Amino acid sequence: MNNSYDDFAALLDLWLAFLDHEAKSPHTIAAYGRNLRHFAAWLETTYRQPCAPTAVIRRDVTDYQASQQTAGVKPATINNRLAAVSRFFKWAVAQGHVTQDPTVLVKAVRLTRRQPQSLSAADLRRLLRAVHQAGDGRDIAIMELLAGTGLRVSETVQLRYGDLELNARSGMVTVRRGKGGVHRQVPLTAEVRRALTAYLEQHPGQPEAPLWVGQRGPLQDRGALFRIVNKYALAAGLDALGPHTLRHTFATRYLQAHPGDLRNLAAILGHSSLDTVMIYTEPTTDELAQRMEEAELGAPNGNL
C-alpha cells in the first residue's frame, strides 16, 4: 500500500495530531506548525509550485537555510525552523509517507554563545518592591515564585493548589509536567513561602483546582503572566520584560552564589543536559571588557 503524501497541509495536520497524541504541549505544537508552514511558503514562493513533501530534496533545505541567513534572521530562529523541518521528515519517513529525509547531514547554524538577559540585583529588588507596594496577594506570590525558583511560564500557569507543600521551615513546588514531560520538585525559599502562604490564606482551594485565581476566574493564559510581569517592570521604571527574564535572573544569581554547581541548577530548572545551563557561565561583554582592562593593567609597564 502506498502511504505517500504530496499534499503538504494534509501531512502536516497528521503530524501535528501525532504530536498531540504524544502529549506535546500546545505551545510546542503551535511552534512546529508555524515553522513548517514558513518552510512550505518559502518553497512555494521560490519554485512557484505547491509544496509536495515527497519532492523536497536536501538542496531545498540548504537553500532555505542560506536564504534565512542572507535575510538576517537570527541563528536561533533558523535553527528552530530547521529542527521542526527535520523532526517532521523523520516522522514522515518512519510512517512511510515519504521515502527520504532531506534534512540528513544539514547542519545547524553555529551560534555565538552569550549569556541570556537577566536583571541586576538592584533591578530585581526594584521589581519586587514595585509588586509588594502595588500588587495584590496573587501577583506578589507569582512574582516571588518566578524570581525565587526559575520556573517556566507554562509550568507556573499549570500549577494546582496541591502542587504546593508549605511548612514553617521548608517547602516545595511540584512541577508535574515540565518541558519534555519531566516531573520534578523545586524547593521554596522563605520569601517565596511567605508570599504563597499569604496568598493561600486569602484564596484557599481544592488540591486539583488551578492555583492562580483572579476576579475573572482561574488564570490559565500564558499571556496573562507576561502582562503581570511587564506591569510591575514598568511600575519599577524598568524596560519591558517577560517572565523568562526572571528565569534567567534566577539561574544567573544561583551560579553567582554557587559557582560551578551546574548539576543542581539543571535539576532545579528542569534541564536534562548540563550543556543547556553552561550558557549562564558565559561572561557578558562588560565582564570581558573588564577582564581585558585588568589584564592590560597587570602587564609590566602596561606592555605585553
- Catalytic positions, please? 152, 179, 244, 247, 271, 280
Q: Are strands 213-214 and 217-218 parallel, antiparallel or unpaired?
A: antiparallel
d(CA 15, CA 207): 35
Closest CA to 16 of 35, 37, 30: 30
Q: Give the dihedral sign, CA 237/242/244/247.
A: positive
Are the beta carbons of 117 and 123 closer than 8 angstroms? Answer: no
Within 116-257, where are the H helices?
121-134, 137-149, 153-157, 190-202, 222-235, 243-257
Are the beta carbons of 146 and 247 closer than 8 angstroms? Answer: yes
Are the beta carbons of 173 and 268 closer than 8 angstroms? Answer: no
d(CA 139, CA 146): 11
